[in-house]
Structure 1
Amino acid sequence: MEDKAGLFDNSTLVELRVPREFSLKLGDDAEAETIRDLELWKQKTCKALSNLRKQLRCRQTIPLQAAAQVIYHTASFDGDGPWVVDRSRAIAREILSEYANPSVDVLERVLRNFVKPIFSLNPHPGLNVDTGRKLPRPAGGPSGGLDHLEGQEWKSHPELFSVLSWCLRQSNERAVEKLWHLFVPPLMTYLDDHQVPYKLQGVYLASELLRHAPPDLLRRTGVDVLLSTSLKTCLTFLHDPETPGLIRATVSAYLRLTQSTTTDGSAARFDQLCGLLGDSIIGNVWVYAYREPSVIEASVDCIPAVVTLLDIGTVRYLKALIPQLVFPLIPAPENGASIGYKMSSARALSVVVRVCAPRIHNWRGTILEGVLKCWVELADRKGDNEETSQLRDHLRHICTELLNACRASAPQVIAELQSIQRLDSLLFEPLLSNSFEPGQ
């Protein structure tokens, strides 16, 4: 693998090839020799990267193919994989800094010569891998998806995600459009994998692609439909340690895709957001993961962004949203919600009250019950910390938003709040004092 200019020697490049063992989860029963060899390899890569840096400093310019080699082997260390140590990452990023804003030709060589051959062994059944366009029907018929999951040689190259991620971050709209057929097939392969860690990497890649992809290109190639379907499928993988992270990343990517491919106020945008909130979050996550608080909390963290974009259309889901968001605030034996989960619910509840103000009047009793009981529970706690202080602020904000939402019946609501305050002014005045002027 020595270039014609004699820039690299074989030993340098060989030492930078990430061993496939890093693609496996080595448990306690792994052979001590294997673990020792991998640790030794990680230390050797620091020396190899240092040698590569020295060689590059001796040259002002290098051929395109040599630059592609440098990028592939150093971008492999631009991440948090188990084969990366702090020093190797730092040296790799120093080398890569010389290739910021690379030409499209260099990126194309990295993807075509190093990435594409690996993924070509498992072509995605829903794509024309030569054009990056959605096929009219999946290749291989009904069993094409299963065939796609066989072999999966790409999983033996754990560095591929770091390389793809770096290339996407360095791309612009022009580069993404020209290299569409090289970016999309591996991205969709990650996204449609059956294992959550790879799906999560696929979501990250999709988010980066959407930062630069022209909306017309997404629609014209049919990749908008593929991405939408695959992202919603990600929200059905509910029983994995990485599910909370997958939910947060997926919803963020889905919202970016929706904003990119639909217009504000259109029926298409409304339908996509209703599918996300009603079908995926309420109808799937909240139904089938109710015993996993970390998963529910992750979905609740996403509610403010979804509701803000859906706007007043959210009112159709109030019967599901309000009880779900109030429940963590109410102390009960069956409710073991953490302070963090309570804060997530309180933040989401504030946004729902503000966005759905015209329909909140009839829900004020349910909302106030949750807020007051949570406030009393906090008052009964011994000591205070930053989290509980933040939760108190969120509860105050809910009361303020509630009064604003019920502006049409403000005198009645103010009277209700004042009667609550009179029950125990020492306890409730700090909660309600920001909601209305004293004596109003």
Structure 2
Amino acid sequence: MKDALDVVMAWQLRNPDVKDPQAAIDEVKRTREAGGELTASLIDHFLRLTIRPPFQKAKRPEVTAAGRRNTKEGIATAKQVDWFEEDSPWKNDIYVLDLLHWVLRSLNTHLIEKHWPMLLPPILTLIDDHETHNRATGCHLLDTLLRTTPPSLLKKTGLGSVFEEALLPCLTFLPQITPVEESFEILNAAYPALIQLSHVQYPSTLPLTLQKQYNKDSTQPLPQTEITPPKAKFLDRILRQGILTGYLHAGDNPRIATVLFAHLASLIQELGIDSVKHLKDVLPLLSNVLSDPLGVAYPPLLIAGVKAMQACVLNGWPRIDTWRGEVLRGLAGAWLMLESENSGDVEEVKRESVETLAMLVVTAKSEANSDKDMRTLVGADGRLEILLERAMEVVNGNG
């Protein structure tokens, strides 16, 4: 109540002749919701007196006290990791992380620049912690921070590469070295943070109207018009070193493969037309998974796989005609495998398969060849007739 009364007092001093209390009440609500005086005071209080003290022992040689990248020669490259609880007092104060979550959600572009130096040590310390859960929490926190961070601030501080170096190792936490549950948690936290980093570190050129809209609603990802070469290179690296390498090492685990395919779809969507360079690696992999007879044992993997294939068709359509056979192989294999199944997840796989085939028909450069290929498949197995009919209904607007 004290902080709320401070807001009321300040408002009354600015409006000495107003007697209606509703306007003062609205001011308290506004400051709580929009980062006004009350929120700004609480953020400053929590950061200085509650959040910073438990993380004082966490030294970050790559970051200066002002929250910039340390470029001095001879700087230590090894990160200090707190392996013992007595060296990590924040582990004994769980509420500190809850407050940090609240602070990050309450920041606006002005407050984030003001408190930038105090925000970095806790987040980077969590990402470098030896406990996987803490690493995942750090990834979530960095993702939240980046959703409010202006690209100009990241460029000025030079910390984009520091965030890259902190996040990329999280993609290597895979079975058999890492337990499946822990791997599932950290992968689901690291990939969104890396994609959000790509938005801020490599911003696309936007019309002025869109830039203003983004500044008003900074919780939304920065929309892109045309991907820049540095951003494409960064996303390529994530896809190759994260998704493809991760699947090579842990693709036999269906839960991990499902996670990788889900984020593969997001990366393909981010790359847009630049994703065509990956079709030769991605589409055969997806087709093999979709046509695997054992896939019915874990339908979520098939759902993620067919949605990733949709992203490939949608974004790589200028070259998809070359890979039409791989797409048809995967869709036909999945349909035949699930033809006699009727659970909820299986129906979703079938529905998404129909949508994908419809996309392929629409985007195909050679309609005659596409029709010939599909008719050949139907001739080989009549059960595929239903798949083709439903896809054509979607194409014609009747499905």
The TM-score range, normalised by the shorter chain, is 0.7 to 0.9
Partner of residue 339, structure 1:
299
CA gap of 1:105–1:154, structure 2 versus 1, over 3 A, is same
Q: Which amino acid aligns with 1:245?
A: E
* Pair 1:253 & 2:177 matched: no
CA gap of 1:215–1:160, structure 2 versus 1, over 3 A, is same
User: What's the offset of the Cα at 1:430?
Assistant: 2.4
CA gap of 1:140–1:117, structure 2 versus 1, over 3 A, is farther
Q: Is the 8 A contact 1:126 1:138 kept in 2?
A: no
Cα separation, 2, equivalents of 1:419 and 1:140: 64
Cα separation, 2, equivalents of 1:248 and 1:147: 23
Q: Is the 8 A contact 2:126 2:134 kept in 1?
A: yes
Q: Which runs of 5+ in 2 are unaligned?
A: 8-28, 205-225
Q: For 2:345, which of 378, 384, 387 is the aligned residue? A: 387
Q: For 2:70, which of 132, 135, 144 is the aligned residue? A: 135
Cα separation, 2, equivalents of 1:186 and 1:279: 27
Q: Is the 8 A contact 2:67 2:117 kept in 1?
A: yes
Q: For 1:145, which of 59, 79, 104 is the aligned residue? A: 79
User: What's the offset of the Cα at 1:124?
Assistant: 2.3
Q: Is the 8 A contact 1:206 1:253 kept in 2?
A: yes
User: What's the offset of the Cα at 1:98?
Assistant: 9.1
Cα separation, 1, equivalents of 2:346 and 2:135: 35
Partner of residue 42, structure 2:
106
CA gap of 1:138–1:337, structure 2 versus 1, over 3 A, is farther
Secondary structure of 1:145 counterpart: coil
Q: Which runs of 5+ in 1 are unaligned?
A: 1-55, 64-95
Q: For 2:183, which of 243, 250, 258 is the aligned residue? A: 243
CA gap of 1:62–1:131, structure 2 versus 1, over 3 A, is same
* Pair 1:415 & 2:372 matched: yes
> Per-residue displacement from partner, 1:235-286 (whole Å, max 9, x unpaired)?
1111232222322222112111111221233221111111111222213x12
* Pair 1:352 & 2:312 matched: yes
> Per-residue displacement from partner, 1:171-207 (whole Å, max 9, x unpaired)?
1111111011111111111112222101110111111
Q: For 1:429, which of 375, 385, 395 is the aligned residue? A: 385
Cα separation, 2, equivalents of 1:194 and 1:340: 30
Partner of residue 366, structure 1:
326
CA gap of 1:279–1:60, structure 2 versus 1, over 3 A, is closer
Q: For 2:114, which of 157, 178, 203 is the aligned residue? A: 178
Partner of residue 23, structure 1:
none
Partner of residue 44, structure 1:
none
> Per-residue displacement from partner, 1:205-235 (whole Å, max 9, x unpaired)?
1111112111111111122111122121111
Cα separation, 2, equivalents of 1:195 and 1:229: 18
Matches within 5 A, 1:154-165: 154-165=90-101
Q: Is the 8 A contact 1:126 1:137 kept in 2?
A: no
Q: Is the 8 A contact 1:329 1:370 kept in 2?
A: yes
User: What's the offset of the Cα at 1:139?
Assistant: 8.8
Partner of residue 405, structure 1:
363
CA gap of 1:106–1:435, structure 2 versus 1, over 3 A, is closer
Q: For 1:326, which of 266, 272, 287 is the aligned residue? A: 287
User: What's the offset of the Cα at 1:319?
Assistant: 2.2
CA gap of 1:395–1:437, structure 2 versus 1, over 3 A, is closer
Aligned residue pair count = 344
Matches within 5 A, 1:191-206: 191-206=127-142
User: What's the offset of the Cα at 1:298?
Assistant: 0.3
Partner of residue 5, structure 2:
61
Q: Which amino acid aligns with 1:259?
A: H
Q: Is the 8 A contact 2:68 2:159 kept in 1?
A: yes
Length-normalised TM-score, structure 2: 0.78
Q: Which amino acid aligns with 2:187?
A: I
> Per-residue displacement from partner, 1:362-400 (whole Å, max 9, x unpaired)?
32222222211221121233xx22211111111111211
Partner of residue 17, structure 1:
none
Larger radius of gyration: 1
Q: Is the 8 A contact 2:81 2:129 kept in 1?
A: no
Length-normalised TM-score, structure 1: 0.72
Cα separation, 2, equivalents of 1:411 and 1:113: 70
Secondary structure of 2:172 counterpart: coil
Q: Is the 8 A contact 2:133 2:185 kept in 1?
A: no
Secondary structure of 1:122 counterpart: coil
Q: Is the 8 A contact 2:269 2:315 kept in 1?
A: yes
> Per-residue displacement from partner, 1:96-135 (whole Å, max 9, x unpaired)?
999543342331121111111110122223222x312222
Secondary structure of 2:173 counterpart: coil
* Pair 1:293 & 2:254 matched: yes
Cα separation, 1, equivalents of 2:296 and 2:61: 44
Partner of residue 75, structure 1:
none
User: What's the offset of the Cα at 1:148?
Assistant: 5.0
